[in-house]
Amino acid sequence: MPDELMIKTEDRMKKAIAVLKEEYQAIRAGRANPQLLNRVMVDYYGTPTPLPQMANISAPDPKTLMITLWDISMLKTVEKAIMASELGIHPSNDGKVIRLQVPDLTEERRRDLGKTVKQKAEEAKVAIRNIRRDAVEKIKKMKKDGELTEDDQKREEEAVQKLTDKYVKEVDVVAAAKEKEIMQV
């Protein structure tokens, strides 16, 4: 049973790291990345739909994103959704495709994004600590129910702590990489 608990705990911690990486993809670092648009929701005939499900998104050069819609009639709606998003990029279209020019980041904007990166990292660490707390509570319950000895309980709690430390360090590594990417001029 404790092995199963450790596997589930580690899986949950891996998911916390995956969520953090996904959130970091939405933070623009001064160059065009089609994943910037993953969270843009478009009102597609009354249904909120992620933009990547409605169009082909490419980056023909480091500063430009090109959106080729499958349904051209949605051109204006997609432009409105992009302007309503928090990307800070203004779309332009030629009647067939939408182009987004990704502007260079100002020093102030880089610092703001750095703060956002740190905030998201802290949220991920809190999530990992909550997962640790849940696992430790289950271990204590197993000890109380007589499934574990006191030595086994200590050993399992130490293993959970080592796992927590490993994933907290991974959050720091991922956050440092994103911060470095943002601060590059």
Residue type (1 letter), 135: A
Q: Quick one: pLDDT at residue 30?
A: 66
User: pLDDT by residue for the chain (185 residues), tens digit each?
Assistant: 578 889 999 999 999 999 998 888 777 666 777 877 888 888 888 888 888 888 898 888 878 889 998 888 888 888 888 888 877 778 888 888 888 887 777 788 788 888 989 999 999 999 999 999 999 999 999 989 988 889 999 999 999 999 999 999 999 999 999 888 888 75
Last residue of a domain, which of 83, 101, 119? 101
Domain that holds residue 16: 2-25+106-183
179 and 124 part of one domain: yes
Confidence at residue 170, expressed as pLDDT on a 0 to 100 scale? 95
Q: Same domain for 66 and 127?
A: no
> What pTM did the predictor assign?
0.71
pLDDT at 61: 85
* Same domain flag for 89 and 178: no
Check residue 120 and give its pLDDT.
92
Query: Of the candidates 63, 80, 101, which is a domain's last residue?
Result: 101
Residue 168's pLDDT is what? 95
| 90 & 49 share domain | yes
Extract the tokens encoding 149: 């000895």
Do residues 79 and 110 share a domain?
no
Please indicate, yes or no, whether residues 115 and 95 belong to a single structural domain of this protein: no
Q: In sequence order, which ranges of 107-149 are alpha helices (DSSP H)?
A: 107-144
Q: What is the pLDDT of residue 1?
A: 55
CATH number of the domain residue 138 falls in:
1.10.132.20
Residues 126 and 173 in one domain: yes
Quote the pLDDT of residue 88.
73
Handedness of CA 7, 11, 17, 20 (dihedral sign): negative
pLDDT of 22 reads 85
In total, how many domains does the chain have? 2
Give the containing element (helix H, strand E) for 25.
Answer: helix 2-25
